[in-house]
Homo-oligomer: A and B are copies of this chain.
Amino acid sequence: MTDLTTTILDRIRDVPDYPQAGVVFKDITPLLGDHVAFCAVIDALADELAVDKVVGIEARGFILAAPVAYRAGAGFVPVRKKGKLPAETLEASYDLEYGSAVIEVHRDAFSPGDRVLIVDDVLATGGTAQATVELVSRAGAHVVGVSVLMELAFLKGRDRLPDVDVRALVAV
């Protein structure tokens, strides 16, 4: 493992039975609170890609995506749960274990041809990421990649993003 991988894995806390019995939640707050680890993660997520905008997905995604935007000298665009953005929006739905959810982006969030990096904390089933890629594309911008802190590889989220450059700092 690289130093960064070790740094990250040492600071992710397993919380059993959250949000429900039988689930082990991967808590990234110890990582966020450690300034050396936090800054190293932001630097790694922002690495190399030349982008105009970074998209963050409400709410934990904002915590990584906004500093990546700052680090990359890019603008920040929030993708939010339905009803939270005040101006005209585009929306996309995705499946949850039970039912579905809707996310939105402002219709005027991008300039035509903007190169966009999507950043989130976790790639799980890929449903949210897939819906976000769809939203960015429909808004007239170009997705150059999806970068996440942590990939739950056994859920095969990557398979739902076949044409996208998906990067994860660690896989668990």
State which size class the interface on A falls in: 35 or more
A51 → chain B, closest Cβ, in Å?
10
Residues of B within 8 A of A32 (CB): 75-78
Instruction: Point out the residues of chain B lying under 8 angstroms from A74, CB to CB.
Output: 35
User: What residue of chain B has the Cβ atom nearest to residue A111's Cβ?
Assistant: B33
Task: Select from chain B the residue with minimum beta-carbon distance to A114.
Answer: B33
Known contacts A15-B86, A87-B13, A87-B15; A70/B39 CB under 8 A: yes
B15 touches A75 (CB 8 A): no
- Determine if A143 is an interface residue (Cβ-Cβ < 8 Å): no
Give every chain B residue within 8 A of A110 (Cβ-Cβ): 33
* A29 and chain B: residue at smallest CB distance: B106
Complex interface: chain B residues within 8 A of A63 (CB): 56, 62, 66, 76, 78
Chain A residues proximal to chain B, CB less than 8 Å: 13, 15, 18-19, 25, 27, 29, 32-35, 38-39, 42, 52-53, 56, 58-60, 62-64, 66-67, 69-71, 73-78, 80, 84-87, 106, 109-110
